[in-house]
Structure 1
Amino acid sequence: MNEIEQLLAERRRGGVEIMTLGEAGTFARGRRFTKADMVKDGIPCIHYGEIYTEYGVSARTSVSYVREDLRDQLRYARPGDVIVAGVGETVEDVGKAVAWLGEGEVAIHDDSFLFRSELDPTYVSYYFQTRSFQAKKNQHVARAKVKRLSSSGISRITIPVPPLEIQRGIVRILDSMTELQAELQAELQAELQARTRQYGHYRDQVLCLGPSVPIGQVGDFVDFFNARAHEKFVDPAGTVALMTARFISRGEANRFVQPEDVQTPAYEGDVALVMSDLPKGKALAKTFYVDSDNAYAANQRVCLLRSRDARVLLPRFLHRMMDRNPQLLAYNNGMDQTHLKKNDILEVRIPIPPTEVQERVVTILDHLESVSVELASGIASELSARREQYEYYRERLLTFEEKAA
């Protein structure tokens, strides 16, 4: 019998005590500090937003620090405490927990809580990921624009309390599974990055068309259309997909409008291009080829490029030439949000070979891209399967029968 089976057998023997978190331990809210108080070297701290962006189930070191002169004004989590996000943009973010296993204390933000108890802190943090905890937590989240969870609400949520050795055994197994999952993800991501670089290499080779190929400015061959805002027209029942930066960069259509509300229609052969993105963002200058009429609308911060004469410049070739074009990426300074201007785009210089050469280039690059997409899909499926396996065992290990009174 392996360790998982032993623990599953143990938890069936007579059940365990079920306690509210308020009975099992105590909660204390952090104290205020701002991002302006953060420094490169100072008092270790955890900002509430970092709990769901920077940390996993446990942590031994902080990623941020605050000024030394704030020392007496702050509240600190001790080693063995669990730090819980009390605020978030989504219900899922609220209640995310990280067990603090560092050698010393860490300051916590006032939009988070520390939970102190005799329970294994990592066991508690793992339990906060379970479907059972999430369902109970959701009953106590205030659903304003910013989602909030109070300490009084979370203290009423129950938690199974098996013997400490069983808690630690569960942590040991889940830690091992988490580590294996992380290693697999790193390996698969490395493979995907290698294939992506390979695609980029071949793309660059294909696009080296030789000195005899004429070079022209994009503005000499295309018409430019700056898209208008559609936010007030968004309708889940709409049939026209809204081409936002997210849609173009990820291929996920998650916002729609009705045909009569379209402000910037896109037609077959148009090339949509993202004009604005965060510093070092992956969406800037990303393009999308429109393959049908009446299916898409371009949203603000996206433009449409329309070839004036497909006998001179094939729309699909334009799409391939402009997609993350280095001349456009050069406007990203890595510090400020990038906003491409009309002339920045129209002044890009691209090769204009005969259309039969353009067709051959497009065919090769379409094939290379399909291979990359297929690989990415396979990696995503493999990671999803491993994640489901992990969640299955986590739910089984952290579900207990209550001990009879």
Structure 2
Amino acid sequence: MLQFNKRPACSTPRVLTDRSLFTIYHSIFQKINWKKYDESTGVPSLSKSTINSVIISFPSYEEQKQIGTFFQQLDKTIALHQRKLTKLKELKQGYLQKMFPKNGSKFPQLRFAGFADAWEQRKLIEVADYRNGKAHEKDISENGDYIVVNSKFVSTNGAVKKFSDELIAPLKKGELAFVLSDVPNGRAIARTFLIDEDNKYSLNQRIAGITPHSDTNSYFLHSLMNRHGRL
């Protein structure tokens, strides 16, 4: 059972809501000196003295309930949207399998009304131009103005970012970044990222820049090339 520093008695009992308990646990978590732990020294742990030294502040029970209810509703809304997102990803994956030809066929399983012609077989060089990225290791900057498009950036769909002060290999809106080499696990190889803005992204080495021709739709090419990757 958690123990806390004794405080002067007050007229209103300190009853904790679930949200208040969460705040307490978060305070405890923040007190851990994570930097002193690594794989060679073992697993982080909490001592009784650490827990007992945690100082918390909280209002009356009625205000706790108001705050707790507010965040509970937000959590429920987030969970609802997460379930919707999961279903939409499953739906998209199904369409990706049905709207592109498979096993050498020239006809997809599912098509829009008014389209019945066979799909043509073309090489990538016939529908887009290709170029290699450039090294950015010496130009990485925590507060840089430009996003460096590397394999980690592509594999996380832009969630993990590195920045550069220099736009060394600029990417334009509508171009695709295509992963050529992914160290160490290779999960990002052949995945693509569709560039959504000019003067924002710089192409790193081991990533190809794909520029669709005027008669090639960028989002179609992105979907075609990336359809077997994770959503």
TM interval, short-chain normalised: 0.5 to 0.7
Separation in structure 1 between the aligned mates of residue 199 and residue 163 of structure 2, nearest angstrom: 12
| SS across alignment from 2:170 | coil
Residue of structure 2 aligned with 1:159, choices 41, 48, 51: 51
- The answer to whether the aligner puts 1:320 opposite 2:223 as a matched pair is yes
Supply the AA of the counterpart residue of 1:159.
Answer: I
Match of 2:122 among 207, 211, 216: 216
Q: Does 1:198 align with 2:198?
A: no
RMSD: 4.3
Q: Offset at 1:301?
A: 2.8
Residue 263 of structure 1 deviates from its aligned partner by: 2.7
TM-score between the two structures when normalised by the length of structure 2: 0.57
- Residue 137 of structure 1: aligned partner: 32
Q: State the match for 1:116 in structure 2.
A: none
SS of the residue 2:122 aligns to: strand
Partner of 1:232: 138
**SS in structure 1 at match of 2:190:** coil
Does structure 2 conserve the Cα–Cα contact (< 8 Å) formed by 1:241 and 1:253?
no
Aligned residues: 177
Structure 1: distance between partners of 2:222 and 2:216? 10
State the partner residue of 1:294.
199
Counterpart in the other structure of 2:190: 285
Q: Larger helix proportion, structure 1 or 2?
A: 1
Query: In structure 2, do the counterparts of structure 1 residues 216 and 137 end up closer, same or farther at CA, with 3 Å as the change threshold?
Result: same
Structure 2: distance between partners of 1:147 and 1:12 = 31
Give how far 1:239 is off: 1.1
Q: What residue number does 1:338 align with?
A: none
Distance 2:178 2:92 in 1: 21
Distance 1:200 1:159, change over 3 A: closer
Counterpart residue identity of residue 291, structure 1: D
Q: Structure 1 residues 295, 280: closer, same or farther in 2, change over 3 A?
A: closer
Provide closer, same or farther for how the CA distance between residues 154 and 299 of structure 1 changes in structure 2, counting only shifts above 3 A. Answer: same
Q: Contact 2:133–2:207 (CA<8 Å) still a contact in 1?
A: yes
CA contact (8 A) 2:171 2:199 kept: yes
Query: Which of 293, 296, 306 is residue 211 of structure 2 equivalent to?
Result: 306
For residues 25 and 223 of structure 2, the distance between their equivalents in structure 1, rounded to whole angstroms, comes to 45
Q: Provide the residue aligned with 1:339 in structure 2.
A: none
Identity of aligned residues (%): 24
Distance in 2 between residues matched to 1:242 and 1:263, nearest whole Å: 9
Q: C-alpha separation between the residues in 2 aligned to 1:264 and 1:201?
A: 35
1:106 — aligned with what?
A: none
- Pair 1:250–1:212, CA change in 2 (3 A): closer
